[in-house]
Amino acid sequence: MSSLASNVADSQGCFQDVNGIIVLDLTHAGIIIATKLAKLGFSVTAVDVYRTADENVLLELEEGCGIKTSKKPVQIDKHDLVISPAHLDPEYPVLVEARKKGIKILTHHQAVGSILSMKGWPDSGTVIEITGSKAKTSSASLLAEMLSQKMKVVLHTSRGLELWENGQCKILNLGLSIAPGSILLAIDKLDEFGVSAECYIFEVSIGLTGFADIGIITTLEPDYPIAASTSNASDAKLSVLSYAKQEEIFFLNVTDMKGHDMANKFGRTCFTFGDSEYCGKDYENADTVADIDDKSVTFNHKNGTFSSPLSQNYNSRSYATAFAVSTAVALKMGIPEQEIIEVIASFGGLQGRMQEKELEGRTLIDNSNSGMDIKSAERSLDYALTKSKSESEISGIIMILGEEAAQVCEGLPPENVSEFVMRRSGELSRLILVGKRMHDIGNGKFTYAGGLEEGLEIATAIASEKDIILSCVKCFR
């Protein structure tokens, strides 16, 4: 059996002579992977590692798809391929047994790339995948709008499945995750709607499939441990450089030296981007540079320089990486500078990503999203404080901080929140903590809420019209 790591394009070889496949983890879109493989004619056993799948769902897999299911570790037996998420504990019994017996182990990312190759999808068009610790959704959304000036674009992010044409967005479907297996579900939705495009952009969590024409890694920082702390998320994101199809080109942050070293090792074609907010002085060495101030962003690239004004209705500095990523790729794909300028100049921020808006007569700075972390919360507070000092009529800041689900991108560690609260709570007029894990912080000193909506209701009820409500809750939206 040949390895997908040698060449994703040779995916048929990867599954050649496979008698049985074990798919681990049905929580993070593993059900989709198992179902697709069963439809391709493989004998599949699906293991609900985290025991979260509904019994009726497991019954449907067995009766409707012929997939064996289990909530407990299974024996390798006649299986000769194991598909496991990058973040699973390597000491999970099935993985331990597979390594002992020399059974091939693929990640969910690799398996999805292989399935797409076998399906021969798409008939035509450019496929772009984007991952990273920060700025995935905003980079992908800006890029989709830029590319849509010249072509029809399908965009799949944590915001949903969208169709972009002539700078206009149509929402096709909501509720899909960005786990790698959800790419397959998104494609099924496109078939169901009869939608095709000239470009497909997929936001993917913790890595890339290696199937795309263009792979983007926005940032590797902040990094965090995965797989029971045996590896880091950055390792999973960069692993695509070892197994992607040879013709795939990559866009890497100029500061991510580990990525550049690995790209050189495997002979990858790479382009770099950088921005003055994230990269410091290092950004000047990038192929495409975004130099941002409060009113404009200037781009320097190999063929020249151009600038775009920025709307003052959101914290544009928090989008510096997204401006750099989207512009670098758009220029490479032939989008004229003037059309890039028009998109950036009219951009007003994305929901939940430092977007400034009104909530029942109060100013709301909305920074609640799945990628929110304590550093992002701190930057949000700094921005709110700057705004309050520049606008004398603002009296105070009410902050909503916490998590709706600890499972969202590693959650928001209570110890990080506690440290932040000790340092910065004195700068707030009120603090509302969200989530069960935050109840011990402050020993009852603060207000507590079960979720984002409850937190917003409390904040609105106690806020004067001169207060800023600052929303920093880690959640799916």
393 pLDDT band, cuts 50/70/90, is low
Q: Residue 15, exposed/middle/buried by CB under 10 A (0-12, 13-18, 19+)? A: buried
Closest CA to 273 of 221, 205, 204, 323: 323
477 pLDDT band, cuts 50/70/90, is low
pLDDT at residue 356, rounded to an integer: 84
Average pLDDT over residues 233-238: 96
Closest CA to 253 of 110, 379, 131: 131
Average pLDDT taken over every residue of the chain = 90
Closest CA to 108 of 86, 125, 124: 86
Pair 458, 426: CB distance under 8 Å: no
What pLDDT digit, counting tens, does each position of 38-76 carry?
999 999 999 999 998 899 999 999 999 999 999 999 999
Instruction: Output the CA–CA distances (angstroms, integers) from residue 318 to 171, 220, 275, 277, 314, in the order listed.
Output: 25, 16, 11, 8, 9
Distance CA 210, CA 285 (A): 26
Q: What 3-state class would DSSP assign to 418? A: helix
Average pLDDT over residues 4-31: 69
Phi, psi of 355, deg, nearest 5 = -90, 135
Average pLDDT over residues 192-207: 96
% pLDDT > 70, the chain: 94
pLDDT at residue 407, rounded to an integer: 47
Domains and CATH numbers, the chain: 4-108 (3.40.50.720), 121-346 (3.40.1190.10), 355-474 (3.90.190.20)
What pLDDT digit, counting tens, does each position of 322-373 carry?
999 999 999 999 999 999 999 999 998 887 777 888 888 889 999 998 778 8
Predicted TM-score of the model (pTM): 0.83
Closest CA to 199 of 126, 124, 140, 137: 126
DSSP string over 116-133: HHHHT--SSSEEEEEE-S
What pLDDT digit, counting tens, does each position of 77-121 carry?
889 999 999 999 999 999 999 999 999 999 999 999 999 998 889
Distance CA 276, CA 269 (A): 24
Distance CA 79, CA 145 (A): 45
- Nearest-10 Cα torsion for 237, 239, 243, 247: 50
Q: Which of 148-157, 278-287, 386-395 has the highest mean pLDDT?
A: 148-157
What pLDDT digit, counting tens, does each position of 206-225 carry?
999 999 999 999 999 888 89
Distance CA 361, CA 358 (A): 6
Q: What's the half-sphere exposure (Cβ side, CA atoms, 13 Å) at 224?
A: 13
What would the two tokens of residue 170 be?
Answer: 């149509």
